[in-house]
Structure 1
Amino acid sequence: MNWQVVICCFLLGVTPVLCTLDFNYHNNKAVENYLKDINNNYSSITYLHSIGSSVAGNQLWVLVIGLYPSQHMIGIPEMKYVANMHGNEVVGRELMLHLIEYLVTSYKTDVVISQLINNTRIHIMPSMNPDGFEASAVDCYGIVGRLNKNGYDLNRNFPDAFNLNPDPIQPETKAVMDWIKSETFVLSANFHGGAVVASYPYDNGNAENNGITPDEDVFKYLATLYATKHANMYQGIQCPGMNSFPAGITNGYQWYPVRGGMQDYNYVYGQCYEITIELSCCKYPDESTLSQFWSDNKVSLIEYIKQIHMGIKGRVFDLEGNPIPNAIVEVKDRKHIQPYTTNSIGEYYHLLTPGSYTFNISAAGVSLLQTVDITNNKNLYATKYDFSINVSASSANSLLQVYTLLSILSTILVLLCT
């Protein structure tokens, strides 16, 4: 870093690393220091925490950006970006750092970014596999560093809805599973390398569904949006040894089945709509290309975050106005493998394209059918609709007790099985 930059940083009163994030690869310690500097200098809109540690003891850092970064607020949806799941697929790791820099430095100077941060809680994990990154090196098509330190592919390590996964859950996987359980995530993307395409669920499937989810229209919309806003993904780039992807998108299962993938786990068990972004034909390209990758993906990364405000959100209440936890909120004819339910404070979120939908709400043996019209997400606001169901306060309290008990039992089971 030159003296002009140091002087500039001194005059602005910020740590020098914040004045310029170089387009080069940052090792695990450099990533940690950078995130800590960001958190220290933008403490009003950031919250830095570790969700766990890798096999080798490296922390799995997550930086949260939002108006209320340290806690969930009613009506503020949660989204996340996860990169470097395969340790030798590294472009996403650096894009996450540049995205963080762009978001925090644009706050209060860019109207759209400010509105996005004020109305969204954005979680960014630059590296899910820091051990793998340490073992890898510049190499386009190799596999060294892909796995975690125990030799497991983390994107084959999650519980699978279609096939039993016999592999032991790895520390990095368990940390992400616990993280998903602890938050009300609505939208997500994870970043890989080795192709240039936006891939959407299912990653696994069966002959009955052929990998097609009940929310096929939503997933195709999300993948198409990312590919279209990208500099060239939408052109269907053909990488060596593989076919091109029309419009730059693909259904994961129809590309090739993946058992134990993270995006399916998010969708089936986390009520979170996640897609996988393959960023580059070369998994670990020379760092001279990083600036171009940022330029190619910058608009897509921002526009994708905005999509968390599509669809509908709200709460479910009993007759006395008390929120009902664990109430089923499903769209008719969109039955999920695990029914989507309200969180502990009675909130629900559904990503849906504009249209008229009939919702089936049920709690304590009582059901309600209600049709709601959903409009475009202009100005970053999803359609808000609260449901009131004919359930007494005592029934709602019983549901809360059951919900709490199930949460405790689930935690005990996880501890016993790990």
Structure 2
Amino acid sequence: MKDVCGALLAVTLWVSVASFRHHYRNNSELNTLLNDMETSHSHLARVYSIGKSVKETDLKVIQLSGPNVSIGTPHVKLVGNIHGNEPLGRELLLRLADYLISGYESGDDEAMAILDKMYVHILPTMNPDGFAEALEGECVNGPGRRNANEKDLNRDFPSHKYPSDTMDPVQPETAAIMEWMYKYPFVMSAAIHGGALVANYPYDVAKTKGSRAPEDHKTEDNDMFRAMAFNYAEEHGHMADSKECPDSNDQHKFDRGTTNGAAWYSFTGSMGDYNYDYHGCLELTLELSCCKYPGDHELEKHWNDNKKALLSFLKYSQQGVKGVIYNGTDEPVSKAAVSIYGRKQVHYSTENGEYWILLLPGKYWLEVEKFEKKIFRKITVPDSPFDNPLILNLDLATAAAEDYPQPSDFEPEQDNTGDFLMVGVDRKDAQEYEEIHEAMVNERKNMNEDERYDDETLPYPGDSRAADTYRLNSFICIICSIFSLLFCK
């Protein structure tokens, strides 16, 4: 029986790999594949749209999670193809979705642990209109970088530091991302680009307005950003060994495959800066290929280079502290201000009372404020948070305020100075700031309401042979998995 069980697992994994063909799918094929994943694995996958592009192509997301996730589970997002002529992210993220689904079905420990501990939201393409114009093999420039309105989507987001530089109405694709972030409390994110090989972290905007000189512009969470970036580069096949791409004229020397955005080159309106300043979401910009649009014969190699790094990145969602805030009985408290003492970034609890703050291992003071009550808790973030995350639930009705933190409670930290969100404002002003921004999103957005689409609402023919093959192989995987669960112990 042991030999039979081993053979079944091998068949399941082989079928999964064989069912995924590495090639660039057009927009119709991409959405058809997402629908097929949902249909074949509805207990793990949900497909929804966050809006439409300028040319009315649905911006579809596949959300992955185990069937038994509960309150307090963090949300992570992965975004590909922000620039239409940088499509590697499309195929890497589709392969990642397929890998996690098939791994969960076959009982792979890592895939099951990831999907049982988080919601993974994957947007394979943010710029489908640009992709439709791009040309495979164009490594440096080429058409399709911008959207159909000739706007660079990674220069289109509101800037907290220089708001006057980003006052134009945002593009539909940008508005869709902004609205998406108000619907889901993402704790971390990755945006996949091409044209370099580096893990880039905020800020991208210049520290000094008008300056073109490369200069570090650190966020308040610079330590966490650097740890995430270094980890990705080290887990990647060779990112940490690369200083720059061979044919690059860039004289900037990356630090073991990582860089601060503004230290490389600065610009205003990046998606990464927006994620952090307006939502407290930590986003890395991952430049994953020296060629912007590598040939499809290179896709398997890029997957092998990035597979381990992508899986390791997702595990950072458990790093730090998380919990649920209550107000007597079991009633959750929403919009409670949660922060780390000494840092100005404010996080707000969800309607379910949930909160998450990403932190490196160490000692901190957690500060929670609501109903004119402020409490502090000493916390120690463990060294192995993925297997043993720090969970701190608080009942505001019964919690007593601990002693106010003193400077002697903290060891000297590295210099993380810079211009941070909500510096010098109290919690009431911070919440008003959030409400003003939310009103701006509602005014600017140009998108449909978020909904779950059925297959018949998306009349994309796609590649019927690939779809049929995917369904057949999914069926084989399910049968093998059921047999394994029943008879293989």
Pick from 377, 382, 386 the counterpart of residue 370 of structure 1.
Answer: 377
Larger mean Cα displacement after TM superposition, 150-159 or 367-376: 367-376
Partner AA of 1:222 in structure 2: M
Cα distance in 2 for residues equivalent to 1:179 and 1:46? 18
Q: 1:408 to 1:259 in 2, by over 3 A?
A: closer
Residue from 69, 72, 76 that aligns with 1:75: 72
**Which residue number corresponds to residue 53 of structure 2?**
54
Alignment correspondent of 1:242: 250
Question: Are 1:323 and 2:322 matched, yes or no?
Answer: no
Could you tell me how far apart the structure 2 residues matched to 1:290 and 1:386 are?
Answer: 44
Report how far residue 56 of structure 1 moved.
Answer: 0.3
CA–CA distance in structure 2, aligned partners of residues 101 and 237 of structure 1: 32
In structure 1, stretches of 5+ residues that fail to align are 1-10, 393-403
Counterpart contact for 1:119–1:380, Cα < 8 Å: no
Q: Which runs of 5+ in 2 are unaligned?
A: 1-10, 210-214, 400-430, 446-489
Q: Give the match's secondary structure for 1:132.
A: helix
- Is the CA contact (8 Å cut-off) linking 1:226 and 1:300 kept in structure 2? yes
| 1:189-208 to 2 correspondences below 5 Å | 189-207=190-208
Which gives a bigger RCO, structure 1 or 2 (Cα 8 Å, sep 6+)? 2
Could you tell me how far 1:414 is from its partner in structure 2?
A: 4.0
CA RMSD of superposed structures (Å): 2.7
| Change in CA separation of 1:67 and 1:405 when aligned onto 2, cut-off 3 Å | farther
| Structure 2 residue matching 1:85: 3-state secondary structure | coil
How far apart in 2 are the matches of 1:357 and 1:246?
A: 28
The reply to whether residue 120 of structure 1 matches residue 118 of structure 2 is yes
3-state SS, counterpart of residue 348 of structure 2:
coil
TM-score, normalization: structure 1? 0.87
> Shift of residue 391 of structure 1?
8.4
1:222 aligned to which of 198, 212, 228: 228
Does residue 310 of structure 2 align to residue 301 of structure 1? Answer: yes
Question: 1:31-83, CA deviations, whole angstroms, 9 ceiling, x for partnerless residues?
Answer: 111111111111110001111110001110100110249xx841111101000
Is 1:285 matched up with 2:267? no
User: Percent identity of the aligned residues?
Assistant: 35
- Indicate the SS of the match to 2:225: helix
SS at match of 1:316: strand
- Map 1:125-140 → 2, pairs under 5 A: 125-138=123-136, 139-140=138-139
Deviating more after overlay: 115-124 vs 359-368:
359-368
Counterpart among 255, 267, 275 of residue 266 in structure 1: 275
- Describe the SS at the equivalent of 1:299: helix
Q: Which residue of 1 aligns with 2:486?
A: none
- The Cα shift of 1:311 comes to 0.8
Aligned to 2:481: none
Counterpart mapping for 1:151-162 below 5 A: 151-162=150-161
Q: Give the corresponding residue for 1:30.
A: 29
Task: Please give the alpha-carbon distance, in whole angstroms, between the structure 2 residues aligned to 1:57 and 1:17.
Answer: 32
Q: Count how many residue pairs are aligned between Structure 1 and Structure 2.
A: 391
| Paired amino acid for 1:103 | L
Do the aligned partners of residues 329 and 405 (structure 1) sit closer, same or farther apart at CA in structure 2, a change above 3 Å counting? closer
Contact 2:49–2:61 (CA under 8 A) maintained in structure 1:
yes
Partner of 2:72: helix, strand, or coil? coil
Q: Is the 8 A contact 1:17 1:34 kept in 2?
A: no
Does the residue aligned with 2:256 lie in a helix, a strand or coil?
A: helix
Q: Which is greater in Rg?
A: 2
Distance 1:411 1:276, change over 3 A: closer
Structure 1 counterpart of 2:41, one-letter code: Y
> What whole-Å deviation, never above 9, does each CA across 1:156-199 have from its counterpart, x for those lacking one?
11111111203321100111111111001111100001110000
One-letter amino acid of the counterpart of residue 100, structure 2: L
SS at match of 2:23: coil
Return the alpha-carbon distance in structure 1 between the equivalents of residues 79 and 150 of structure 2.
20
The answer (yes or no) to whether the contact 2:319–2:386 under 8 Å persists in 1 is no
Give the letter for the 1:42 counterpart. H
Change in CA separation of 1:42 and 1:156 when aligned onto 2, cut-off 3 Å: same
* Aligned with 1:343 (options 319, 338, 350): 350
Residues 320-329 or 348-357, more deviating: 320-329
